[in-house]
Chain A
Amino acid sequence: MNFIERVNKIFDDRFLNNGSSYLLDLRKRNLDKFNKIGLPTLKHEEWKYTNLAFLNDLDFNLLPFISSTEAVNALKNINFLNETECIVIPILNGVVEKHLGNFEDLITIAKFQEKIDEDGSNRLNLFNHFFEASNPFSYLNLALFNDGVYLSVKPNVELEFPIVLFYYYESEYTGLSNTLNLIEIPENVKADIIILFVNNSQEKVIANEMTNLHISKHANVELNFVQIDLKNMFLINNLNVISESESNFKTNVFSFNTNFVRNNINYDFNGEHSTTFLNGIYFVDDGNFVDNHTLVMHSKPHCMSDENFKGILDGNGRAVFNGKIYVARNAQKTNAYQSNKNLLLSNSARINTKPQLEIYADDVKCTHGATAGFLDQDMLFYIISRGISKEKAKSLLLNSFVSENLEKVGSNELRNYLKELVARKLHLEDIFFCSSIEELTKVSL
């Protein structure tokens, strides 16, 4: 059996006689679309550098249900979550665990499928234009999703603590997960969301997760993705965002030491005078692969988007960046910026980077730039000439390269966690942490 055949078998076995007629209809429609396109090959423009052929060789089923004990232990190891007050919503092998309900009447957390049964299809329809042929995995997700989070916040509330969607995977066989989340942020809300992936599986996990986010007028949302040490995992992470006028959105995507990650990040301005920032850092080494595919649709005038992805590639690590900016005919006074910079540390590392601008308006400012290069030899020599070893000098420069994007994380705890992680990866702990110098200088200033 190939991938498509297995997907269809899972559908027949697990979903054909389950759920409401509305859900079944939604699943069937999307499965048909997925079947029609099939698993993308390298001939598929949006998948040109991302080989999925290995999926045909995997024998998989839906992931098993698991208890939360292991997940709770895994959570304890993520220190920024212990240091900060936050609401954690565990999603265990794709199933949303506990924590459902209202929090101080500020936040509503429910199961997505219950929400969709209540209110019909309206809520998802908004995102329909993102579910399209260039990404058949969105169809797959809608056909096979087993669970998902519905999240909303009371209007006019500024949340002081982050909401964490904690994806945890653990399986003794090769398994598939499709989670479908819907997050609705009402007017004047300020919210900080962290989506964290942890894989503790001995066997391979194929995770095709999707989050649809609607941001209302005057709302501010920051969404951070943390994808760290994802071995044995094929993660297809889909984010679709629609924002109304005068809203602000920022996402930071961190991918370190990941076997296979494809981020599909789609953003649409549905109102004027809004801003969005899409940032990312990826570190790939031997056996690692990261593909960031972004789409920013300037459908309305007077909006600003700024995109900045940085990558460090070592060993035989590979990465892909594809950033598309679309400016509609009426989207005058658009400002759109895009940058993708890469540092290559070995001769066998590879980056395929492609900016795509499709501009139909005539009064816009759009810039884009992509670079792939090696460490600056003058900078390296400057550091070495102070008695610092070549290895350490290199690490300092790599740290310096990514620090710009690390500083963009809003939450202090998450930012420090990521900084420390980078420092550890570069063997610079003794410089940036355990150092009371910084503390002392701060105190004495």
Chain B
Amino acid sequence: MEILRIENLKVGIDGKEIIKGLNLTINAGEVHAIMGPNGTGKSTLANVLAGKPGYEVLEGKILFLGKDLLELEPEERARQGLFLAFQYPVEIPGVTNANFMKTAVNEVRKYRNLEPLDAFDFLQMMKERASLVGLDVSYLNRNVNEGFSGGEKKRNEIFQLAMLEPTLAILDETDSGLDIDALKIVANGVNSLRSSDRSFLVITHYQRLLNYLTPDFVHVMYDGKIVLSGGSELAHELESKGYDWLKNGNNGKK
């Protein structure tokens, strides 16, 4: 089943074209990785998919579960099963993780005509999902990301992913700023959330996350386009040859 289809997407910010004709199709249960040097539009793609304001879609279309994604407000995209794990998670003083997640999960459930979860079930669910990424339950009573280390913030993103059970999860540079132990924890958390009805789009600069998180497909993005696609072995090739290899005229050919 097709989850996401992007056709000839062109996106600009402040009149400057960042994504210059991108095509990508993700089917149910697949894990896709997008790699590429800095400044090629990887995070722009993640933000456009999640609906962050400030981006101008110049051309092309995005279908999510067969519907025009660009017609949906960001909160509706989330409720329909799209999740973005942020590169820079935001701190929200005065709002505990527990209350934040309760609000989000119940809004999503309301949208799907489901009853709100009762407090006991919800707590059980939170404890179980927090343990997936090694977050102690005490984190649930702390304010969202406030005073969290870089690693804790990223783990919290994966915890939220686990709570919201999306159909498509986009991980934007989730590995950046993580030491090797934190990276393993995050990758194991993600692995345990893989299933036949959940797809992932993993955006990363480095190959190291992909050592733990074997993708089905690897795409290389350069200058606003996907210039190369292949299997997980492509990540290793990139790691050994470096991105300069792309810049030296190997566009589109492997």
Query: Could you tell me if B141 and A442 are in contact, using CB atoms closer than 8 angstroms?
Result: yes
| A441-B103 CB under 8 A given contacts A387-B78, A387-B79 | no
Q: What 1/0 mask marks residues of chain B from 19 to 58 whose CB sits below 8 Å from any chain A CB?
A: 0000000000000000000000000000000111100000
Given contacts A385-B50, A440-B123, 6 further A-B contacts (CB under 8 A): A383-B100, A384-B74, A385-B52, A388-B104, A396-B100, A441-B123
Shortest distance from the beta carbon of A343 to any chain B beta carbon, whole Å: 13
What separation, in Å, do the CA atoms of A386 and B53 have in the docked complex? 15
Query: Could you tell me if B102 and A435 are in contact, using CB atoms closer than 8 angstroms?
Result: yes
Query: Could you tell me if A431 and B141 are in contact, using CB atoms closer than 8 angstroms?
Result: no
What separation, in Å, do the CA atoms of A392 and B99 have in the docked complex? 12
Residue of chain B at shortest CB distance from A434: B119
Shortest distance from the beta carbon of B161 to any chain A beta carbon, whole Å: 10
Q: How large is the interface on B (under 10, 10 to 19, 20 to 34, 35 or more residues)?
A: 35 or more
Partner-binding segment picked from B9-17, B85-93, B192-200, B242-250:
B85-93
| A381-B53 CB under 8 A given contacts A387-B75, A387-B78, A445-B137 | yes
Query: Could you tell me if B51 and A441 are in contact, using CB atoms closer than 8 angstroms?
Result: no
Residue of chain B at shortest CB distance from A436: B119
Give the residues from 377 to 411 in chain A that come closer than 8 angstroms, CB to CB, to chain B: 377-379, 381-390, 392-393, 396-397, 399-404, 406
Shortest distance from the beta carbon of B158 to any chain A beta carbon, whole Å: 13
What separation, in Å, do the CA atoms of A397 and B108 have in the docked complex? 19
- Chain A contributes a number of interface residues (CB within 8 A of B) equal to 37
Can you list 5 residue pairs at the A/B interface with Cβ under 8 Å?
Answer: A383-B92, A403-B93, A437-B119, A438-B98, A440-B123
Query: Could you tell me if B107 and A444 are in contact, using CB atoms closer than 8 angstroms?
Result: no
Q: Which of B52, B127, B140 contacts A381 (CB 8 A)?
A: B52
* Interface-central residue, B53, B93, B120, by most chain A CB under 10 Å: B93
Query: Could you tell me if B122 and A379 are in contact, using CB atoms closer than 8 angstroms?
Result: no
A103 at the interface (CB under 8 A from B): no
Shortest distance from the beta carbon of A29 to any chain B beta carbon, whole Å: 49
* Interface-central residue, B51, B74, B98, B160, by most chain A CB under 10 Å: B74
Query: Could you tell me if A386 and B92 are in contact, using CB atoms closer than 8 angstroms?
Result: no
Shortest distance from the beta carbon of B73 to any chain A beta carbon, whole Å: 8
A401 partner residues in chain B, CB cutoff 8 A: 94
B108 partner residues in chain A, CB cutoff 8 A: 387
Q: Which 7 A-B residue pairings sit nearest by Cβ, starting from the closest?
A: A403-B94, A387-B78, A400-B94, A386-B104, A436-B119, A382-B90, A387-B108
Query: Could you tell me if A396 and B95 are in contact, using CB atoms closer than 8 angstroms?
Result: yes
Query: Could you tell me if A385 and B74 are in contact, using CB atoms closer than 8 angstroms?
Result: yes
B84 at the interface (CB under 8 A from A): yes
B96 at the interface (CB under 8 A from A): yes
Could you tell me the dominant secondary structure of chain B's interface residues? helix
Shortest distance from the beta carbon of A412 to any chain B beta carbon, whole Å: 17
A432 at the interface (CB under 8 A from B): yes
Shortest distance from the beta carbon of B62 to any chain A beta carbon, whole Å: 16
| A387-B92 CB under 8 A given contacts A381-B53, A437-B119, A445-B137 | no
Shortest distance from the beta carbon of B132 to any chain A beta carbon, whole Å: 17
Query: Could you tell me if A440 and B120 are in contact, using CB atoms closer than 8 angstroms?
Result: yes
Residue of chain A at shortest CB distance from B85: A385
What separation, in Å, do the CA atoms of A384 and B86 have in the docked complex? 13
Query: Could you tell me if B94 and A445 are in contact, using CB atoms closer than 8 angstroms?
Result: no
B138 at the interface (CB under 8 A from A): yes
What separation, in Å, do the CA atoms of A118 and B242 have in the docked complex? 90
Query: Could you tell me if B141 and A441 are in contact, using CB atoms closer than 8 angstroms?
Result: yes
Shortest distance from the beta carbon of B147 to any chain A beta carbon, whole Å: 13
Query: Could you tell me if B107 and A389 are in contact, using CB atoms closer than 8 angstroms?
Result: yes
Query: Could you tell me if A392 and B93 are in contact, using CB atoms closer than 8 angstroms?
Result: no
What separation, in Å, do the CA atoms of A385 and B47 have in the docked complex? 10
Shortest distance from the beta carbon of A65 to any chain B beta carbon, whole Å: 44
Q: What 1/0 mask marks residues of chain A from 404 to 429 whose CB sits below 8 Å from any chain B CB?
A: 10100000000000000000000000
Shortest distance from the beta carbon of B46 to any chain A beta carbon, whole Å: 11
Query: Could you tell me if A441 and B111 are in contact, using CB atoms closer than 8 angstroms?
Result: no
What separation, in Å, do the CA atoms of A402 and B103 have in the docked complex? 19
A399 partner residues in chain B, CB cutoff 8 A: 94-95
B96 partner residues in chain A, CB cutoff 8 A: 438
A442 partner residues in chain B, CB cutoff 8 A: 141
B18 at the interface (CB under 8 A from A): no
* Interface-central residue, A385, A389, A439, by most chain B CB under 10 Å: A385
What separation, in Å, do the CA atoms of A442 and B96 have in the docked complex? 12
Query: Could you tell me if A396 and B78 are in contact, using CB atoms closer than 8 angstroms?
Result: no
Give the residues from 332 to 391 in chain A that come closer than 8 angstroms, CB to CB, to chain B: 376-379, 381-390
B90 partner residues in chain A, CB cutoff 8 A: 376, 378-379, 382
Query: Could you tell me if B98 and A441 are in contact, using CB atoms closer than 8 angstroms?
Result: yes
Shortest distance from the beta carbon of B166 to any chain A beta carbon, whole Å: 10
